[in-house]
Amino acid sequence: MSLLGRLLYQSRKFYDDDFDWNTYTADSYERRIVGDIEANFQAVAEQDQLKFNAATGTLEVQGRDLHPNHQLVLEAIGRLQAKSVHEIGCGGGDHVANGKTVFPDVTYTGGDRGQTQLDLAQQRHPHLAGSLMLQDITMPLSRHWPRAELIYSQAVLMHIHTAVSHFVGLANMVNSSDRFVLLMENYQCHNFIADIQALQKGGHFDWPEMFIHRFDGSTGARAILLARDKQDLPELTSDAQIREGLKPSDRRLKRSNEDSARGLFGPAG
Ligand SMILES: C[S@@+](CC[C@H](N)C(=O)[O-])C[C@H]1O[C@@H](n2cnc3c(N)ncnc32)[C@H](O)[C@@H]1O
């Protein structure tokens, strides 16, 4: 290789996730739970503070409000009547804890690739021991991972930008789920709809059919819902639809396009 070639090779771009997940809790996560979530919202609710109202499809909250994104996840579980739920990137475990409080009959588990995040979850919710596990959703699919009717992520895939990892994560989520995948993410951090469509067309999902819907929570949050069967919900066919009304971030949109461009998909079936 020429000298110029070697210099260019050394300066080639490496893509990386937003955080070092091994040190994330100490670096920023624990501080953000206290400063951003606990300071403004109810992070963990007691038994009598949350109740899902099946007639209205909404979560009734006593005391301080839940963060709208966290409320949406619980409303999705109730409205979709999922009997088993698994959270990808469960972090400090608050959503698993709240979910178990609202839906005691649902089998509810969580996985995270960061041991220090799981240690934090264990500290915050000792009763979750046995429900949380070490799991890297960007590894090849493991038959030891839990299957569930609903698999969801909240603020996880949006931070994954290493090579083609977010595609692997998306495919693993669908292929571990029996009915639904819910993505509660920042929709400018990836071209989620285009990437899902490309994975589907390329044969990376086990589901014979997939319907991509918009799911709205009752307090203003929106999510992407992938469903094996068509739901009575608005269908999404483009990223523009899920981004409608959001203030564009040029930096994020540029990186999303770079991330999408690294995908090399199976031939169309
Ligand atoms: C921004 S935090 C969100 C945590 C939690 N969902 C919440 O809302 O508090 C992102 C979480 O995703 C986890 N994570 C990142 N990459 C992952 C992967 N490949 N597989 C599983 N978890 C991952 C991190 O360790 C971290 O706990």
Ligand 1 contacts CB of residue 154 (under 6 A)? yes
Output the pLDDT for position 4.
Answer: 80
Length of the chain equals 269
The whole-number pLDDT of residue 46 equals 86
Residue 111 belongs to some domain of the structure:
yes
Domain presence at residue 1: no
Look-up of token digits 């044969």: 203
Q: Measured between alpha carbons, how far is 49 from 117 in angstroms, rounded to an integer?
A: 25
pLDDT value at 12 more than 70: no
pLDDT tens across 130-186, in order? Answer: 999 999 999 999 999 999 999 999 999 999 999 999 999 999 999 999 999 999 999
The per-residue pLDDT for 105 is 97
Assign residue 245 the CATH number of its domain. 3.40.50.150
Tally of domains in the chain: 1
Residue of higher predicted confidence among 247 and 46: 247
232, part of any domain = yes
Tell me, yes or no, whether 133 lies in a domain.
Answer: yes
Tracing tokens 């169309």 back to the chain, one arrives at 268
Q: Is residue 48 part of a domain?
A: yes
In single-letter form, the type of residue at position 171 comes to A
The structure tokens 């999922």 sit at 82
Distance CA 1, CA 6 (A): 6
pLDDT of residue 1: 64
Closest CA to 162 of 243, 255, 266: 255
Cβ–ligand 1 distance for 99 under 6 Å, the answer no
Domain that holds residue 251: 14-261
Q: What mean pLDDT do residues 41-54 have?
A: 93
What would the mean pLDDT of 67-91 be, rounded to a whole number? 98
Residue 2 within a domain: no
Asked if residue 213 belongs to a domain, the reply is yes
Q: Are 87 and 109 in contact (CB under 8 A)?
A: yes
Query: Is residue 269 in some structural domain?
Result: no
Does residue 14 have a pLDDT over 70?
A: no
Element (H, E) at 85: strand 84-88
Cα–Cα distance, 263 to 269 (Å, whole number): 17
Q: So what's the pLDDT on residue 192?
A: 99
pLDDT tens for each residue of 200-232: 999 999 999 999 999 999 999 999 999 999 999
- pLDDT band per the 50, 70, 90 thresholds, residue 63: very high
Q: Whose CA is nearest to atom 4 of ligand 1?
A: 91
What pLDDT, on a 0 to 100 scale, did the predictor assign at position 269?
A: 81
- Tell me, rounded to whole angstroms, the distance of Cα 50 from its chain centroid: 22
- State which H helix or E strand residue 224 sits in: strand 222-227
Asked whether 138 lines ligand 1 (CB < 6 A), one says: yes
How close are the terminal C-alpha atoms of the chain, in Å?
Answer: 40
